[in-house]
Amino acid sequence: MDYQMKDITVLVTGAGAPGAPGIIKNLRLVEERKIKIIGVDMEPNSVGFSMVDKTHLIPSALDKEFIPSILKICKKEKVEVVMPLVTKELMPFAENIKKFEEIGVKISISHPQKLQIANNKYLLMSHCSNNNIPVPEFIKVNSYIEFKEAVLKLGYPKNKVCFKPPISNGSRGFRILTQGIDRLDLLINHKPINTITTLEDITPVLKNAKVFPELIVMEYLPGKEYSVDILADNGKAIIVIPRLREKLKMGVSFVGITVKNDTIIEASKKIVATLNLNGNIGLQFKEDENKVPKLIESNPRLQGTIVLCAAAGVNLVYLAVKLALREKIISPKVKWDVKMIRYWNEVYYDKRGQAYTL
């Protein structure tokens, strides 16, 4: 007779995030036990609310009531594991992990000091550079004069140069500077979310800023881009799955494929080990002109497109739950070259505000 594992309750934050539906699907795919899913978000019309068993509204991660509200929900719903999806929530959770452990709740998360590095692109690239892990050439700037000097030092206008804030996600603040663009073509034929611009166009914005934002100016990498989904146990990478990001919209993968890239796998293991990361970890690499993959950022949490890994035979979301509960994990075989195409779907609400799908 098959052994039936104990039923559990898992709380998923950021139920309105673009990747939430895929992550919830991962938990629904589990057959060895029943999982009650609690979804929480700030927004009452969160798409993930149509897919979970119970829903709760919560304050912002920056609100002093954020942690107390999650603790209250965990007690009420008898939650065993919390899975954070939102970057801003990571530090509050990590800093208060003992409060959750005291009520029997496990959180799949890394140590606060390591999160500070992993969540800051400048600190992360500095760490990798010091540990012989390839990264693009980068310069941190704190004024327009420093910004322009860095852009020119990295070869602009002959070479493309890019910049972004040290702390951001979803392509916020990211731009590519290039001299050879047709501004009319950019205006008429491209959507306004396009990230390409020129130094001349960006100068009035940055030069006249009341408070200049801290930025990283970086070497532009023209090659293929990869995301890596990792399950880590306090510095040991148990499973590493790179996937090629073939098509992006608003920083989200819409077409991807699992790829066995040993160079990226080994670099990912080294990053996890040197930073002692834990739980679900996401890394992003991009190839330079010589096809050398270089780390460009990390997401020390669940990534939305991790659902592709489940299609490739590895349910990294559920395995992270098992890891948090210290249950035995048998690493499944990865199906390489599995392709995913993401599409839009609809969620409806009745007059009571109850969410449902067709």
Q: In whole angstroms, how far apart are CA 346 and each of 14, 260, 312, 354? A: 18, 34, 25, 14
* Dihedral (CA of 131, 258, 299, 237) sign: negative
pLDDT tens-digit profile of 68-77? 999 999 999 9
Band of pLDDT at residue 321, cut at 50, 70 and 90: very high
How many residues are listed for the chain in this entry? 358
Is 63 part of a structural domain of the chain? yes
> 226 and 120: one domain?
yes
Is 3 part of a structural domain of the chain? no
Q: Which domain holds residue 192?
A: 138-219
173: left (phi over 0), alpha (psi -120 to 50) or beta: left
> 200 and 269: one domain?
no
> 211 and 142: one domain?
yes
> 83 and 128: one domain?
no
165, 196, 219 - which closes a domain: 219
Tokens 């293929």 correspond to what residue? 224
Is the pLDDT at 266 greater than 60? The verdict is yes
> What is the arithmetic mean of pLDDT over 339-346?
86
b vs e for 168-193, b when ≥16 Cβ sit within 10 Å of the residue's Cβ?
A: beeeebbbbbbeebeeeeeeeeeeee
> 243 and 275: one domain?
yes
Band of pLDDT at residue 4, cut at 50, 70 and 90: low
The CATH number linked to 231 is 3.30.470.20
Is the pLDDT at 327 greater than 70? The verdict is yes
Is the pLDDT at 110 greater than 90? The verdict is yes
> 122 and 257: one domain?
yes
> 98 and 44: one domain?
yes
Report the pLDDT value the prediction gives residue 262, as an integer from 0 to 100: 97
Band of pLDDT at residue 201, cut at 50, 70 and 90: confident
- Taking the CA atoms of residue 189, residue 190, residue 191 and residue 194 in that order, the dihedral angle to the nearest 10 degrees is -170
> 233 and 125: one domain?
yes
Percent of the chain with pLDDT over 90: 77
pLDDT tens-digit profile of 133-168? 999 999 999 999 999 999 999 999 999 999 999 988
Is 1 part of a structural domain of the chain? no
Is 310 part of a structural domain of the chain? yes
> 100 and 78: one domain?
yes
> What is the arithmetic mean of pLDDT over 32-48?
95
- Give the number of C-alpha atoms closer than 13 A to the C-alpha of residue 224, restricted to the C-beta side: 16
> What is the arithmetic mean of pLDDT over 313-322?
97
Report the pLDDT value the prediction gives residue 3, as an integer from 0 to 100: 54
Q: In whole angstroms, how far apart are CA 235 and each of 119, 130, 241, 280? A: 16, 18, 16, 12
170, 199, 219 - which closes a domain: 219
Q: Measured at the alpha carbon of residue 315, what is the angle toward residues 311 and 356, in degrees to the nearest 5?
A: 75
Average pLDDT, the chain: 92
> 328 and 249: one domain?
yes
Band of pLDDT at residue 40, cut at 50, 70 and 90: very high
Report the pLDDT value the prediction gives residue 356, as an integer from 0 to 100: 81
Report the pLDDT value the prediction gives residue 134, as an integer from 0 to 100: 97
Q: Measured at the alpha carbon of residue 202, what is the angle toward residues 201 and 206, in degrees to the nearest 5?
A: 145
Helix (H, G, I), strand (E, B) or coil at 228: strand
219, 243, 275 - which closes a domain: 219
The CATH number linked to 64 is 3.40.50.20
Q: In whole angstroms, how far apart are CA 154 and each of 6, 122, 142, 219? A: 56, 16, 17, 6
Report the pLDDT value the prediction gives residue 170, as an integer from 0 to 100: 64
pLDDT tens-digit profile of 298-307? 999 999 889 9
The CATH number linked to 187 is 3.30.1490
- AA letter at 337: D
Other beta carbons within 10 angstroms of residue 228's beta carbon come to: 27
Is 29 part of a structural domain of the chain? yes
Considering its fold, how many domains does the chain have in total? 3
Is 302 part of a structural domain of the chain? yes
> What is the arithmetic mean of pLDDT over 257-274?
98
Report the pLDDT value the prediction gives residue 77, as an integer from 0 to 100: 98
Report the pLDDT value the prediction gives residue 301, as an integer from 0 to 100: 94
Is the pLDDT at 246 greater than 90? The verdict is no
Strands (E), 101-223: 106-107, 138-141, 161-164, 175-177, 196-197, 215-219
Report the pLDDT value the prediction gives residue 1, as an integer from 0 to 100: 35
> 232 and 306: one domain?
yes
Is 47 part of a structural domain of the chain? yes
Is 2 part of a structural domain of the chain? no
> 296 and 210: one domain?
no
Q: Which of 16-30, 56-70, 121-135, 165-179 shows the lowest mean pLDDT across its residues?
A: 165-179
Q: Give 248 or 339, the one with higher predicted confidence.
A: 339
Is the pLDDT at 328 greater than 60? The verdict is yes
